[in-house]
Structure 1
Protein backbone atom coordinates (compact mmCIF):
# COMPACT_ATOMS: atom_id res chain seq x y z
CA UNK A 1 0.00 0.00 0.00
CA UNK A 2 1.40 3.41 -1.03
CA UNK A 3 1.75 6.57 0.97
CA UNK A 4 -1.47 8.27 2.00
CA UNK A 5 -2.46 11.52 0.33
CA UNK A 6 -3.48 14.60 2.36
CA UNK A 7 -7.19 13.82 2.29
CA UNK A 8 -6.63 10.26 3.53
CA UNK A 9 -4.47 11.55 6.38
CA UNK A 10 -7.12 14.13 7.35
CA UNK A 11 -9.96 11.57 7.22
CA UNK A 12 -8.03 9.01 9.25
CA UNK A 13 -7.07 11.64 11.85
CA UNK A 14 -10.68 12.85 12.15
CA UNK A 15 -11.85 9.27 12.65
CA UNK A 16 -9.16 8.57 15.24
CA UNK A 17 -9.97 11.76 17.15
CA UNK A 18 -13.76 11.61 17.03
CA UNK A 19 -15.09 8.09 16.42
CA UNK A 20 -15.73 7.39 20.10
CA UNK A 21 -18.01 10.43 20.47
CA UNK A 22 -21.75 9.91 20.63
CA UNK A 23 -23.11 10.55 17.14
CA UNK A 24 -19.59 10.76 15.70
CA UNK A 25 -20.60 10.96 12.03
CA UNK A 26 -21.42 14.67 11.91
CA UNK A 27 -18.37 15.77 13.93
CA UNK A 28 -16.14 13.68 11.64
CA UNK A 29 -17.73 15.12 8.49
CA UNK A 30 -17.39 18.67 9.85
CA UNK A 31 -13.74 18.10 10.75
CA UNK A 32 -12.97 16.72 7.28
CA UNK A 33 -14.74 19.60 5.55
CA UNK A 34 -13.13 22.19 7.84
CA UNK A 35 -9.67 20.83 7.05
CA UNK A 36 -10.09 20.01 3.34
CA UNK A 37 -12.91 22.30 2.27
CA UNK A 38 -15.02 19.32 1.16
CA UNK A 39 -15.78 15.67 1.95
CA UNK A 40 -14.02 13.53 -0.67
CA UNK A 41 -16.18 10.76 -2.14
CA UNK A 42 -13.47 8.19 -1.41
CA UNK A 43 -13.73 9.02 2.31
CA UNK A 44 -17.33 7.75 2.53
CA UNK A 45 -16.49 4.03 2.69
CA UNK A 46 -13.62 4.68 5.12
CA UNK A 47 -15.86 6.64 7.51
CA UNK A 48 -18.68 4.12 7.10
CA UNK A 49 -16.44 1.19 8.01
CA UNK A 50 -14.95 2.99 11.03
CA UNK A 51 -18.41 3.79 12.41
CA UNK A 52 -20.06 0.46 11.44
CA UNK A 53 -22.46 2.28 9.12
CA UNK A 54 -23.37 1.54 5.53
CA UNK A 55 -21.90 3.63 2.73
CA UNK A 56 -25.46 4.66 1.89
CA UNK A 57 -25.99 6.03 5.42
CA UNK A 58 -22.85 8.18 5.26
CA UNK A 59 -23.55 9.29 1.67
CA UNK A 60 -27.11 10.16 2.68
CA UNK A 61 -25.91 12.47 5.45
CA UNK A 62 -23.32 14.13 3.19
CA UNK A 63 -25.89 14.81 0.47
CA UNK A 64 -28.74 15.75 2.83
CA UNK A 65 -26.92 18.64 4.52
CA UNK A 66 -26.20 21.45 2.08
CA UNK A 67 -23.24 22.50 4.21
CA UNK A 68 -21.19 19.54 3.01
CA UNK A 69 -19.47 19.73 -0.38
CA UNK A 70 -18.35 16.73 -2.35
CA UNK A 71 -15.92 18.68 -4.54
CA UNK A 72 -13.42 21.37 -3.59
CA UNK A 73 -14.90 24.86 -3.45
CA UNK A 74 -13.64 27.81 -5.43
CA UNK A 75 -11.00 30.09 -3.99
CA UNK A 76 -13.84 32.25 -2.59
CA UNK A 77 -17.23 31.05 -1.36
CA UNK A 78 -20.14 33.44 -1.82
CA UNK A 79 -23.16 32.65 0.36
CA UNK A 80 -26.49 34.31 -0.41
CA UNK A 81 -29.05 34.41 2.38
CA UNK A 82 -32.31 32.64 1.47
CA UNK A 83 -34.17 33.26 4.75
CA UNK A 84 -37.55 34.95 4.82
CA UNK A 85 -36.34 38.37 6.02
CA UNK A 86 -33.91 38.65 3.12
CA UNK A 87 -36.48 37.29 0.66
CA UNK A 88 -38.86 40.04 1.75
CA UNK A 89 -36.37 42.71 0.65
CA UNK A 90 -35.26 41.28 -2.68
CA UNK A 91 -33.09 38.23 -2.11
CA UNK A 92 -34.89 36.20 -4.79
CA UNK A 93 -33.93 38.75 -7.47
CA UNK A 94 -30.40 38.85 -6.05
CA UNK A 95 -30.15 35.05 -6.24
CA UNK A 96 -31.20 35.05 -9.89
CA UNK A 97 -28.70 37.80 -10.65
CA UNK A 98 -25.91 35.95 -8.80
CA UNK A 99 -26.58 32.73 -10.72
CA UNK A 100 -26.64 34.55 -14.04
CA UNK A 101 -23.63 36.75 -13.26
CA UNK A 102 -21.47 33.81 -12.15
CA UNK A 103 -22.90 31.33 -14.66
CA UNK A 104 -23.49 28.69 -11.98
CA UNK A 105 -26.30 27.38 -9.79
CA UNK A 106 -26.02 26.89 -6.04
CA UNK A 107 -23.15 24.53 -5.13
CA UNK A 108 -21.50 25.36 -8.46
CA UNK A 109 -18.07 26.81 -9.03
CA UNK A 110 -17.16 29.22 -11.80
CA UNK A 111 -15.16 27.79 -14.70
CA UNK A 112 -12.02 29.60 -13.54
CA UNK A 113 -12.31 28.00 -10.08
CA UNK A 114 -12.52 31.41 -8.42
CA UNK A 115 -16.02 31.46 -6.90
CA UNK A 116 -18.44 28.90 -5.47
CA UNK A 117 -22.04 30.00 -4.97
CA UNK A 118 -23.88 28.66 -1.93
CA UNK A 119 -27.30 29.23 -0.36
CA UNK A 120 -27.44 29.87 3.36
CA UNK A 121 -30.48 30.17 5.57
CA UNK A 122 -29.85 33.23 7.73
CA UNK A 123 -26.65 35.13 8.20
CA UNK A 124 -28.04 36.94 11.26
CA UNK A 125 -28.13 40.25 9.40
CA UNK A 126 -31.90 40.35 9.00
CA UNK A 127 -32.37 44.12 9.37
CA UNK A 128 -29.91 44.78 6.54
CA UNK A 129 -30.99 42.30 3.88
CA UNK A 130 -30.50 41.05 1.35
CA UNK A 131 -27.23 39.79 2.79
CA UNK A 132 -24.32 37.83 1.45
CA UNK A 133 -21.12 36.50 2.94
CA UNK A 134 -17.91 36.28 0.96
CA UNK A 135 -15.45 34.17 2.90
CA UNK A 136 -15.77 35.57 6.43
CA UNK A 137 -16.97 39.03 5.33
CA UNK A 138 -20.67 39.84 5.79
CA UNK A 139 -22.33 42.38 3.47
CA UNK A 140 -25.84 43.82 3.85
CA UNK A 141 -28.25 45.66 1.56
CA UNK A 142 -26.69 43.97 -1.45
CA UNK A 143 -28.05 45.04 -4.82
CA UNK A 144 -27.17 43.26 -8.06
CA UNK A 145 -24.68 46.03 -8.85
CA UNK A 146 -23.09 45.80 -5.41
CA UNK A 147 -22.96 42.01 -5.74
CA UNK A 148 -20.94 42.35 -8.95
CA UNK A 149 -18.55 44.85 -7.37
CA UNK A 150 -18.03 42.70 -4.25
CA UNK A 151 -17.41 39.55 -6.29
CA UNK A 152 -15.02 41.40 -8.61
CA UNK A 153 -13.05 42.63 -5.59
CA UNK A 154 -13.05 39.13 -4.05
CA UNK A 155 -11.61 37.58 -7.22
CA UNK A 156 -8.46 39.72 -6.93
Structure 2
Protein backbone atom coordinates (compact mmCIF):
# COMPACT_ATOMS: atom_id res chain seq x y z
CA UNK A 1 0.00 0.00 0.00
CA UNK A 2 1.10 3.52 -0.70
CA UNK A 3 2.31 5.93 1.98
CA UNK A 4 -0.91 7.88 2.17
CA UNK A 5 -2.91 8.99 5.17
CA UNK A 6 -6.55 9.92 4.93
CA UNK A 7 -7.42 13.26 6.42
CA UNK A 8 -10.42 13.19 8.78
CA UNK A 9 -12.78 14.70 6.18
CA UNK A 10 -11.86 12.10 3.52
CA UNK A 11 -12.22 9.30 6.08
CA UNK A 12 -15.68 10.66 6.96
CA UNK A 13 -16.69 10.81 3.28
CA UNK A 14 -15.57 7.23 2.67
CA UNK A 15 -17.42 5.97 5.73
CA UNK A 16 -20.59 7.83 4.74
CA UNK A 17 -20.50 6.14 1.34
CA UNK A 18 -19.81 2.75 2.90
CA UNK A 19 -22.84 3.17 5.20
CA UNK A 20 -24.97 4.23 2.23
CA UNK A 21 -24.07 1.22 0.07
CA UNK A 22 -23.04 -1.64 2.37
CA UNK A 23 -26.45 -3.34 2.51
CA UNK A 24 -27.12 -2.94 -1.21
CA UNK A 25 -26.64 -5.99 -3.47
CA UNK A 26 -23.76 -5.41 -5.89
CA UNK A 27 -22.59 -2.41 -3.86
CA UNK A 28 -18.92 -2.37 -4.82
CA UNK A 29 -19.09 -0.51 -8.13
CA UNK A 30 -21.55 2.19 -7.00
CA UNK A 31 -19.54 2.62 -3.79
CA UNK A 32 -16.28 3.03 -5.69
CA UNK A 33 -17.90 5.51 -8.08
CA UNK A 34 -19.24 7.57 -5.16
CA UNK A 35 -15.89 7.69 -3.42
CA UNK A 36 -14.09 8.68 -6.62
CA UNK A 37 -16.74 11.29 -7.43
CA UNK A 38 -16.08 12.97 -4.08
CA UNK A 39 -12.33 12.45 -3.67
CA UNK A 40 -11.19 12.19 -7.28
CA UNK A 41 -9.75 8.73 -6.64
CA UNK A 42 -10.18 5.61 -4.49
CA UNK A 43 -7.25 5.59 -2.06
CA UNK A 44 -5.67 2.18 -1.48
CA UNK A 45 -5.77 2.84 2.25
CA UNK A 46 -9.58 2.64 1.99
CA UNK A 47 -9.58 -0.88 0.49
CA UNK A 48 -9.61 -2.64 3.90
CA UNK A 49 -12.55 -0.48 5.06
CA UNK A 50 -14.47 -1.26 1.88
CA UNK A 51 -13.62 -4.96 1.91
CA UNK A 52 -14.65 -5.37 5.54
CA UNK A 53 -17.99 -3.59 5.04
CA UNK A 54 -18.85 -5.60 1.92
CA UNK A 55 -17.44 -8.97 3.11
CA UNK A 56 -14.90 -9.02 0.30
CA UNK A 57 -11.16 -9.52 0.33
CA UNK A 58 -8.85 -6.56 -0.11
CA UNK A 59 -7.62 -8.31 -3.26
CA UNK A 60 -11.14 -8.31 -4.70
CA UNK A 61 -11.51 -4.56 -4.10
CA UNK A 62 -8.05 -3.93 -5.56
CA UNK A 63 -8.89 -6.12 -8.55
CA UNK A 64 -12.01 -4.14 -9.39
CA UNK A 65 -10.27 -0.77 -9.00
CA UNK A 66 -7.40 -1.82 -11.24
CA UNK A 67 -9.56 -3.66 -13.80
CA UNK A 68 -11.73 -0.67 -14.70
CA UNK A 69 -9.86 2.14 -16.44
CA UNK A 70 -12.21 4.71 -14.93
CA UNK A 71 -10.95 4.24 -11.38
CA UNK A 72 -7.82 5.89 -10.01
CA UNK A 73 -5.95 4.78 -6.91
CA UNK A 74 -3.83 7.93 -6.75
CA UNK A 75 -4.83 11.53 -6.33
CA UNK A 76 -5.15 13.12 -9.78
CA UNK A 77 -3.88 16.49 -10.94
CA UNK A 78 -6.08 19.56 -11.02
CA UNK A 79 -7.07 18.66 -14.60
CA UNK A 80 -7.60 15.28 -16.24
CA UNK A 81 -6.52 14.96 -19.89
CA UNK A 82 -7.86 11.81 -21.50
CA UNK A 83 -6.83 10.67 -24.97
CA UNK A 84 -9.24 8.44 -26.88
CA UNK A 85 -7.67 5.13 -27.87
CA UNK A 86 -10.64 3.65 -29.74
CA UNK A 87 -10.27 2.40 -33.32
CA UNK A 88 -11.59 5.51 -35.07
CA UNK A 89 -9.27 7.83 -33.18
CA UNK A 90 -6.32 5.49 -33.75
CA UNK A 91 -7.09 5.43 -37.48
CA UNK A 92 -7.04 9.22 -37.47
CA UNK A 93 -3.72 9.62 -35.64
CA UNK A 94 -4.34 9.40 -31.90
CA UNK A 95 -1.20 7.29 -31.37
CA UNK A 96 0.96 10.09 -32.79
CA UNK A 97 -1.01 12.57 -30.67
CA UNK A 98 -0.42 10.41 -27.56
CA UNK A 99 3.32 10.42 -28.14
CA UNK A 100 3.31 14.18 -28.65
CA UNK A 101 1.34 14.76 -25.44
CA UNK A 102 3.56 12.43 -23.41
CA UNK A 103 6.68 14.20 -24.67
CA UNK A 104 5.16 17.67 -24.17
CA UNK A 105 4.07 16.92 -20.59
CA UNK A 106 7.00 14.67 -19.71
CA UNK A 107 4.70 11.96 -18.32
CA UNK A 108 3.10 8.69 -19.35
CA UNK A 109 -0.48 7.48 -18.95
CA UNK A 110 -1.65 7.37 -15.31
CA UNK A 111 0.93 9.96 -14.28
CA UNK A 112 0.64 13.57 -13.20
CA UNK A 113 2.87 16.47 -14.17
CA UNK A 114 5.34 17.53 -11.48
CA UNK A 115 3.41 20.77 -10.90
CA UNK A 116 0.23 18.76 -10.17
CA UNK A 117 -1.62 20.46 -13.02
CA UNK A 118 -2.44 17.59 -15.40
CA UNK A 119 -3.02 13.85 -15.10
CA UNK A 120 -2.84 11.95 -18.41
CA UNK A 121 -5.17 8.99 -18.92
CA UNK A 122 -6.27 6.77 -21.78
CA UNK A 123 -9.98 6.44 -22.51
CA UNK A 124 -11.59 3.89 -24.76
CA UNK A 125 -14.18 5.85 -26.73
CA UNK A 126 -15.55 9.30 -26.23
CA UNK A 127 -18.37 8.77 -28.74
CA UNK A 128 -16.94 11.51 -30.95
CA UNK A 129 -15.77 9.27 -33.78
CA UNK A 130 -16.79 11.65 -36.57
CA UNK A 131 -14.33 14.18 -35.15
CA UNK A 132 -11.38 11.87 -34.49
CA UNK A 133 -8.91 12.09 -32.90
CA UNK A 134 -10.56 13.28 -29.72
CA UNK A 135 -9.50 14.14 -26.20
CA UNK A 136 -11.43 15.04 -23.08
CA UNK A 137 -10.19 17.61 -20.61
CA UNK A 138 -12.02 17.36 -17.33
CA UNK A 139 -15.57 16.88 -18.68
CA UNK A 140 -15.23 18.68 -22.04
CA UNK A 141 -14.64 16.76 -25.28
CA UNK A 142 -12.50 18.22 -28.08
CA UNK A 143 -12.45 16.79 -31.60
CA UNK A 144 -10.08 16.91 -34.55
CA UNK A 145 -7.19 17.43 -32.17
CA UNK A 146 -3.71 17.75 -33.62
CA UNK A 147 -0.40 18.66 -31.98
CA UNK A 148 -0.98 22.39 -32.42
CA UNK A 149 -4.46 22.25 -30.90
CA UNK A 150 -3.39 20.10 -27.93
CA UNK A 151 -0.42 22.39 -27.24
CA UNK A 152 -2.84 25.32 -27.05
CA UNK A 153 -5.25 23.41 -24.80
CA UNK A 154 -2.41 22.41 -22.46
CA UNK A 155 -1.12 25.97 -22.40
CA UNK A 156 -4.60 27.23 -21.50
CA UNK A 157 -4.87 24.63 -18.70
CA UNK A 158 -1.53 25.57 -17.20
CA UNK A 159 -2.41 29.27 -17.32
CA UNK A 160 -5.73 28.59 -15.59
CA UNK A 161 -4.16 26.49 -12.82
| TM surpasses 0.5 | yes
Alpha-carbon distance between aligned partners in 2 of 1:20 and 1:70, rounded to the nearest angstrom = 24
2:61 to 58, 61, 69: 58
1:99 to 97, 102, 110: 102
> For residue 133 of structure 2, what is the aligned residue in structure 1?
130
> For residue 20 of structure 2, what is the aligned residue in structure 1?
17
> For residue 85 of structure 1, what is the aligned residue in structure 2?
88
**Number of residue pairs matched?**
153
Deviation at 1:46, TM superposition (A): 0.2
Alpha-carbon distance between aligned partners in 2 of 1:141 and 1:40, rounded to the nearest angstrom = 35
Deviations along 1:22-70, one digit per CA (max 9) or x if unpaired, are 2101111100000000001110000000001111111111111121111
Any gaps of 5 or more consecutive residues in structure 1? none
> For residue 71 of structure 2, what is the aligned residue in structure 1?
68
Let me know the Cα RMSD of the aligned residues.
0.9
> For residue 43 of structure 1, what is the aligned residue in structure 2?
46
Any gaps of 5 or more consecutive residues in structure 2? 1-6
TM-score (norm: length of structure 1):
0.95
Contact 1:7 1:40 in 2 (8 A): no
Which contiguous aligned blocks of 4+ residues in structure 1 show a shift greater than 2 angstroms? Answer: none
